[in-house]
Amino acid sequence: MKGHLYRFTIEHIEDKQGNSLALSPLTFEARNHDDILNIVEVMKGKMALDETDATAFAVGLKLFGEVMLKNSKNELFKQFRPHLNNFMKELKKT
């Protein structure tokens, strides 16, 4: 598969009670047809979200969307695709 290759590292820093955690990070690589870093920068100025929320939203949406495209024959994704397409059209208008 062609596309940009990214490495993601997620560290669980503290639990919901605020206790520090010393767990191994989750690291994985994923390809995406879009430049996610550029999209994050664009999203920071597009929506009424703070920088952290805009970043999390953009990265999550791009990862989800790419998995959906890659697995387009999955029945669950087939049902959801029209909704995501409509959402993306509205997002691009902002």
Strand partners, 73: none
Rounded CA gap, 16 and 8, in Å? 22
Q: What letter does residue 24 receive in the DSSP assignment?
A: P
pLDDT score for 32: 96
Task: Please report the domains of the chain, with CATH numbers, ordered by start residue.
Answer: 4-93 (3.10.20.850)
Rounded CA gap, 43 and 68, in Å? 21
pLDDT in tens, 9-51: 999 999 999 999 999 999 999 999 999 999 999 988 888 899 9
Rounded CA gap, 52 and 85, in Å? 24
Is-contact 51 58, C-beta < 8 A?
no
pLDDT in tens, 72-83: 999 999 999 999
